[in-house]
Amino acid sequence: MVADAVDDDPVGALLGAARDALAGVLTLPRSQGPRAAALLARRALEELVDAAVDRADPGAREAGMRVKLLCLTVLDPDVGHRAAWAWHALSECCHQHAYELDPAPAEVADLVGQVERLVRRP
C-alpha cells in the first residue's frame, strides 16, 4: 500500500502507488487506474534516471528527460535503452487522445514491471 512506503524511497513509493492503482486499491474512476498507474510509474522512472545522471554529472539536473535518457545511454547502454523505451511507452499511456483506447491494464502492468526491474538492477 502507498501508506506503507518509506519517505526516503520516492521511487518505491511511486511504484507501490502504481501497483495500487492497477489493483483498484486507490479510489479512482474505474477507467483511470491504468493511466494513473502509468503516470506514477513514469515519475518513478524519472526519479531513477535523475539519480543516475546526477551521480555522473550534477550539472545535468536542469536538462530535459530526453537529454538525461541520452546521458544514461552513454553511461550504461543497456539500462539507457531500456529506460528510454519504458519512458516513451509510459508517456504514450499517459496522454489521452479522443481517437485512441485507454491503455490496457496488462500493458501498464508490464511497463511498471520493467521499471521495477530497472530499480532492482545491481
Structure confidence by residue, pLDDT tens digits, 36-51: 899 999 999 999 999 9
Helix residue ranges per DSSP H, the chain: 10-23, 33-56, 65-75, 77-94, 105-120
**Cα gap 114→110, rounded to integer Å:** 6
Q: Distance between alpha carbon 24 and the CA centroid of its chain, in Å?
A: 18
Domain boundaries, the chain: 2-120
Asked if 72 and 53 touch (Cβ cutoff 8 Å), the reply is: yes
pLDDT tier for residue 103 given thresholds of 50, 70 and 90: confident
The more confidently predicted of residues 10 and 113 is 113
The pLDDT tens digits of the residues spanning 54-97 come to 998 888 888 999 999 999 999 999 999 999 999 999 999 988 77
pTM greater than the 0.85 cutoff: no
Q: Distance between alpha carbon 71 and the CA centroid of its chain, in Å?
A: 17
The per-residue pLDDT for 71 is 92
Question: Is 2-120 a domain of CATH 1.20.120?
Answer: yes
